[in-house]
Structure 1
Amino acid sequence: MINLYLAEDQNMLNSALTQLLELEDDFHVVGSATNGASAWNDLQKLEIDVAILDIEMPKMTGLELANKINQAGLKTKVVILTTFAQKAYFEQAVKARVAGYLLKDSPSDKLIEIIREVNQGQTIYDPNLVINMLSADKNPLTEREMEVLQEMGRGLTTKEIANELFLTEGTIRNYLSAIFSKLGARSRIEAMQIANKNGWI
């Protein structure tokens, strides 16, 4: 069972999303809030696997909340669900290590799919946002992801990269998933081509 938490300041949407998610056999909405401060109080007390957060909320934004979750070292993974396709918001989400970023006009089954993938350790961002980031020639990868990418460019296997960077194979696989998602790549070769084309390596 995947324990979910929903923070959305529009009561009607909050209620509708809760009902929608509860229809899934493997989902359980443990709680919800209409402002960031209440959500933060709940997230510190409850066992939450995935938190679905809106960006613009009273008292604390979804991005501020994501930063707090990250800084506190909580195991809760964050999916941002928003109407805003602004690059600035997306860049802040990447810095806050948000695991998923989806626009509200996306199909509901896409949200359900992303929640399951994020819960399994993957990083999933809306393709349109990735395209916007790449078109601005800004590197969306973190410093550690760049290290993994560079080792990957040397032709090392996942196990070899893990040994080189003193990390577990599972952690390296998570980094690779994040790299592929952020670059919109389907393979290691394609990821390297995109990075080379943009002059990041």
Structure 2
Amino acid sequence: MTIRLLIADDQALVRGALAALLNLESDLEVVVEVGAGDEVLPAALEHRPDVCLLDVEMPGLDGIAAAALLRERLPSTHVLMVTTFGRPGYLRRALQAGAAGFVVKDTPAAKLADAVRRVHQGLRVVDPALATDSLFSGESPLTPRETEVLRAARDGSSVAAIARRLVLSEGTVRNHLSAAIGKTDAANRAEAVLTAENNGWL
């Protein structure tokens, strides 16, 4: 039986390399490749893959949001996150979104193929080092609104611009930024964004 795969990665070279490696396996077949998160669900609905390999950071939707959509619309399709960013917060969020596996892109080809097969069988596959880090990093200390405000602050937008974008008062934005800075032990909001990103909380 051939396992049908969808690969989603915004880097064409990486996407092509993954497809080439996995197509070498007699029981695996890449049936569709996409370069953005918002292309995942339409492609999956059209091609009905057994397993979707998703990058975390992609334009449109990120891979974690795409995984949640797949769980809702195509619950029989399994998701394996394959990412450069081995961050504990990403792992936790991906599993909560319905991903069955999480591996990093430098995983050897044979191990990646094995991870695909195991996810297809309904098993959970997680990079061991990342699983260990996740146990010690703890949950994100940020509230959903603080997370949203920090995300909006990523590009260096002013408080006024963030307030307009999120339809909040400037005072509320300042309060959320101040709380996020305190919770991340940061000196300023740029440092808070960096800390939250490095932990995969955004």
Q: How high is the TM-score relative to the length of structure 2?
A: 0.65
Equivalent residue, structure 1, for 2:88? 87
Counterpart residue type for residue 29 of structure 1: V
1:8 and 2:9 equivalent?
A: yes
> In the TM superposition, what whole-angstrom CA distance separates every residue of 1:17-46 from its partner, at most 9, and x where no partner exists?
111111111011110101111222111222
Displacement, 1:73? Answer: 4.2
Greater Rg over alpha carbons, structure: 2
Instruction: Report the counterpart of residue 48 of structure 2 in structure 1.
Output: 47
The reply on whether 1:134 has 2:135 as its aligned counterpart is: yes
Question: Number of paired residues?
Answer: 138
Instruction: Quote the offset at 1:129 in angstroms.
Output: 1.3
Aligned alpha-carbon RMSD (Å) = 1.3
Moved over 3 A (4+): none
Deviations 1:117-164 (A, max 9, x none): 1111100101011101222366xxxxxxxxxxxxxxxxxxxxxxxxxx
State the distance in 2 between where 1:7 and 1:73 align. 16
Alignment of 1:66-81 (within 5 A): 66-81=67-82
TM-superposition CA deviations, 1:75-122 (whole Å, max 9, x none) = 110000001121211110110121110011221111111001111110
Q: CA separation in 2, counterparts of 1:84 and 1:26? A: 28
CA distance in 1, matches of 2:74, 2:53: 17
> Which string of whole-angstrom CA distances, capped at 9 and with x for unpartnered residues, describes residues 46-81 of structure 1?
221000000111111110100101122431100000
Match of 1:31 in 2: 32
Matches within 5 A, 1:12-23: 12-23=13-24
**Partner Cα separation in structure 2 for residue 126 and residue 12 of structure 1:** 23
Correspondences of 1:148-159 after superposition (within 5 Å): none
Aligned 8 A contact 2:79 2:100 in 1: yes
* Percent identity of paired positions between Structure 1 and Structure 2: 34
The one-letter code sitting in structure 1 at the alignment partner of 2:95 is V
Cα distance in 2 for partners of 1:36, 1:125 equals 21
Work out the CA distance in 1 between the residues paired with 2:84 and 2:138. 23
Q: Which deviates more from structure 2 when the two are superposed, residues 22-31 or residues 127-136?
A: 127-136
Distance 1:35 1:102, change over 3 A: same
Provide the rounded CA distance (Å) in 1 between the counterparts of 2:127 and 2:88: 12
